[in-house]
A = this chain, B = another copy of it.
Amino acid sequence: MPVKQRRGEETRRRLLDAALAVHAAAGTEGFTVHAVVAESGVSLGSLYHHFGSFDGLAAALYTRCMAELLDEIVAALGRARTPRSGVRAVVTAYLGHVAERSASARFIHASAYAAYLPAHAETIAAMKAPRMARMTAWLAPHIAAGAVVDLPDPLTEMLLIGPVAELSRRWLNGADIDLPRAAKLLPDRIWASLQA
């Protein structure tokens, strides 16, 4: 691999890592171009060369974090055999990510609106689509067998992740929530909403 290209990749990675670190340490308030540049040890010019804008950097970081989260969820789902255990796997993977990699989770939730910025929507959609498709495909036979209720895809998705996402958002923002207890109780409740 060409040296130049590798250095570029390295710079991109350093900027993304620095961005996550700054966001975790200073919150949305302190999350600024200049802070990220200082933390990364890279220049402002490089940031704009690689990401085009600060939103571009944020979108790239969002994409990276979200991809990791979805990959963990898809992997957990792949290990499940029954739809009920699949639901439990998804919830556990999601909440596990939130608990163990809270910097990533915090960034995802803080910039949820970014997923809809027109400029970057298609990049994010392109990352999500295949992963969501794998989940849909996993569910399909169980729907066909009559074990899982047959709803429009977005609704199934909402029932599955809506409560978990909202719960995570609150926990990340300091609400008094017992996450392990929630991880025990929620899956069967969500499963009840999906059972045919």
Contacts and interface: CB of A to CB of B under 8 A. Distances in A.
Given A155-B163, A162-B166, 14 more contacts: A112-B112, A113-B113, A115-B173, A116-B173, A116-B174, A151-B185, A151-B189, A152-B181, A154-B170, A158-B163, A158-B166, A159-B190, A162-B162, A189-B194
Interface string A72-92: 000000000000000000000
Interface in A143-195: 149, 151-152, 154-155, 158-159, 161-167, 169-170, 173-175, 177-178, 181-182, 185-186, 189-190, 192-195
Interface residues of A, number: 37
A132 interface: no
B116 A113 contact: no
A53 interface: no
Contacts of A152: 177-178, 181-182, 185
A42 interface: no
B167 A155 contact: yes
A110 interface: yes
